[in-house]
Amino acid sequence: MKDIAAEVGVSVSAVSLVLNGRDAGRINPAVAHRIRSYADAFGYVPNQLARSLKSKQTQTIGLVSDRVATVPFSSHMLAGAQETAWRHGYLLMLVDTGGNDTVQTPAVQSLLQRNIDALIVAATYHRQVEIPQVPSTTPIAFLDGRPSTDERTVDYVVPDEEQGAFDAVQHLIDAGHRRIGFCTVSAYPIADRLRTRGYERALAAAGIRPDPSLMVAAEDASTRFAIAPARTLLDRPAEKRPTAVFCFGDQIAMGFYHVARALGLTIPSDLSIVGFDNQEFVAEALEPGLTTVQLPHRAMGEWAVERVLGRITAAPHQRHDPTGLRMHCPLVVRGSVSMPRDHS
């Protein structure tokens, strides 16, 4: 800083104010511009360690995830979190456990040893998450997970699964469908329960009585597990077959595409399909493109960071009760839905 001060002809304290972003209203803008120009020329890099010792903050947010970093469509959560942290001058420090629960505690401890200012715990799918042991002064937010207890203040954001399912089925009803099948996935109990509730609520709102014979379940959310339930729903006489199907996920919908084609059914004229997730590498690759519900992963990641930053900067008397947000899941309309053949 002394070299920069000498070149510009100002005090070291003036240089410090500018390079630490505290020059507004204190230093002439033209002088501040010259200081920054010389700092760039000298290759000056602020000493974050020295700055953190003085401010008691490291400008670092820790994030522990299960498999989020390795699952393509879930990684949008990380992108949203990282971009938001960076925009506010914070570094996001990530540890991905690969789904190994025994790694989470040492991962959190490792982040705490690096004096993170806040912690975000991210889950690949909507589920209950145990609250890690961290100091009460360290803000925590859950990303795509709900705290398993209410023992301490934890903010969380999850997708509004029920409303997303309702909107998907309503879209089919608006197209004229009455016999609407549903393929859920039993391996994800929270999403299963909420999406089933949304499906049934949409039918009830339209005066359609749920038909248990039109509801099937796959063991897992990958395409190969969808083949058997798809055959159960579709390989039947036309009058008993659904004219539309709402699928738990996009990969389940892909399985229905395969079985429909094998049975000689055309999408969407013989069978309309709506998925859930908006996995673009699936939904956009299918022909016709899959109408599906968007999981708002990027926006959820942004919200989690904004929330912990609010906790960091709030005075103790300004801190409010924890917030649990169910984020809207928009419908992405492509080409897999049309009115049924018998619609008049």
Give domain status of residue 309, yes or no.
Answer: yes
Residues 274 and 175 in one domain: yes
Give domain status of residue 97, yes or no.
Answer: yes
> 48: pLDDT confidence band, cut at 50, 70 and 90?
low
Give domain status of residue 153, yes or no.
Answer: yes
Report whether pLDDT(51) > 60.
no
Residues 114 and 166 in one domain: no
Report whether pLDDT(104) > 80.
yes
Report whether pLDDT(143) > 90.
yes
Residues 71 and 181 in one domain: no
> 53: pLDDT confidence band, cut at 50, 70 and 90?
very low
Residue written as token pair 């393509």: 72
CA–CA gap between residue 27 and residue 44 (Å, rounded): 19
> Which residues have C-beta within 8 Å of that of residue 61, sequence separation ≥ 6?
81, 85, 90, 91, 92, 93, 116, 117, 118, 119, 120, 305, 308, 309
Percent of the chain with pLDDT over 70: 93
Tell me the range of 26-30, 108-112, 301-305 where mean pLDDT is highest. Answer: 301-305
User: CATH code at 224?
Assistant: 3.40.50.2300
Give domain status of residue 101, yes or no.
Answer: yes
Give the residue numbers spanning the domain of 179: 161-295
Residues 172 and 131 in one domain: no
Average pLDDT for 126-140: 90
For all residues of the chain together, what is the average pLDDT?
A: 90
Contact between 279 and 74 under an 8 Å Cβ cutoff? The reply is no
Per mean pLDDT, which range of 198-212, 230-244, 277-291, 317-331 is the poorest? 317-331
pLDDT confidence of residue 6: 81
Write phi, then psi, for 184 (nearest 5 degrees).
Answer: -100, -175
pLDDT confidence of residue 8: 76
Number of domains in the chain: 3
Give domain status of residue 51, yes or no.
Answer: no
Beta carbons within 10 angstroms of residue 336's beta carbon? 25
Residues 165 and 267 in one domain: yes
DSSP code for 58: -
Domain boundary among 295, 311, 336: 295
Give domain status of residue 337, yes or no.
Answer: no
Environment class of residue 140 by beta-carbon count within 10 Å: exposed (0-12), middle (13-18) or buried (19+)?
buried
pLDDT confidence of residue 7: 77
pLDDT confidence of residue 22: 72
Residues 187 and 275 in one domain: yes
Residues 259 and 174 in one domain: yes
> 315: pLDDT confidence band, cut at 50, 70 and 90?
low
pLDDT confidence of residue 254: 98
pLDDT confidence of residue 316: 62
Residues 98 and 245 in one domain: no
Percent of the chain with pLDDT over 90: 67
Average pLDDT for 42-70: 71
Average pLDDT for 182-206: 97
Residues 302 and 273 in one domain: no
Residues 78 and 138 in one domain: yes
Residues 287 and 167 in one domain: yes
Report whether pLDDT(14) > 90.
no
Per mean pLDDT, which range of 12-16, 105-109, 171-175, 234-238 is the poorest? 12-16
pLDDT confidence of residue 56: 56
Give domain status of residue 343, yes or no.
Answer: no
SS3 112: helix
| Per-residue pLDDT reduced to its tens digit, 83-102 | 999 999 999 999 999 888 88
| Per-residue pLDDT reduced to its tens digit, 146-171 | 988 776 778 999 999 999 999 999 99
Give domain status of residue 200, yes or no.
Answer: yes
Per mean pLDDT, which range of 54-68, 118-132, 163-177 is the poorest? 54-68
Residues 258 and 166 in one domain: yes
